[in-house]
Amino acid sequence: MFTNANFDRSVAATYARKFAKVRRANGKAPHKPVLLITLLELIDKGLITENRITISPELVAIFKENFSLLVTATDYKDDFTQPFYYLQSDGFWFLKPKVGFAFDTYVRSVHTLSDRLDFGYFSSDLFLLLVNGYARNLLKNSLLDAFFVAQKVQFLQGKNARRSYLSELKTYLLNEKEAAYLPLPPVEDEETRFVRGGLFKKLVPKVYDFTCAISGMKVIAMDGSSLVEACHIVPISISGDDKVTNGIALCPTLHTAFDRGMIAVDERFRVVVSPSLADGTTSPYNLRQFHGEALRLPFGEMHYPKPESFQWHLKEKFKR
């Protein structure tokens, strides 16, 4: 329970009124209140720590989860980009585009919006309020009371159960035993693909300990980012498979070489280098040095890449 009440109550009251009066399509659309509740939750979880908010898989996933828990009307779709863009009209939410872009019209695609966005941010006085746990809880309850009073108790109980769509999705993508919480939707809309694709990019390097499965390279920057990338073995456009078992962690050069069929992995999890590759063996960066090397496998057999995926790659992509 929040106990720190060291915040400006008049500012909190002002924003509670503003939150309760956000402009909504047809005066009824629930998207903006759900987004605000979601942003407050991400601050609670420590996933947002500064007033520079980017579009992450976690943000979109938790928005979709909260939408499914709070919105009972079937005529509304859980479009994330709609409130993220249109909340600008309420005077306390802003979008900063990357250099060369502008947000003068609504961007429907979450991939396009993410690519063009530098970050979103609250007005400075509001964010100062939001970093206070007690004030944040008051604002969350004001949103629930204003827009979702009938769903409030069940929503809070579901959140307190400490199980979520996001955790279930991670469990699914990690090929671990699934525990039913919310049904995993099929990958049928762009925003769901964005979430699953973004998690795939994070989870694959993680299970490989941020180490290239072929070269053994492990480089982590001061900000915690890694040079190792998640590589699909069978392209997602062909397989529809975004579990970590259809992935391998590779450094950028080997990722490109794998995608182009210059290297492959056989049924014994050993590296195969294409005989058609013109590669200078005197260079310390040559690819032939990895021929016959054993693949560095991830933690846990459940995360091991599927041999049949490598067989597909050998047959369809590898240059013999």
All structural domains of the chain with their residue ranges: 9-162, 206-316
Output the CA–CA distances (angstroms, integers) from residue 178 to 109, 125, 165, 168, 199, in the order listed: 30, 42, 11, 7, 16
pLDDT at 181 (0 to 100): 47
pLDDT at 4 (0 to 100): 57
pLDDT tens, position by position, 242-294: 999 999 999 999 999 999 999 999 999 999 999 887 666 666 678 889 999 99
pLDDT tens, position by position, 6-35: 778 899 999 999 999 999 988 889 999 999
What percent of the chain has a predicted confidence (pLDDT) above 90?
72
For residues 36-53, average pLDDT: 96
User: Cα separation of 267 and 308, whole Å?
Assistant: 8
Tell the burial category of 243 from Cβ atoms under 10 Å away from its Cβ (0-12, 13-18, 19+): buried
pTM confidence score = 0.87
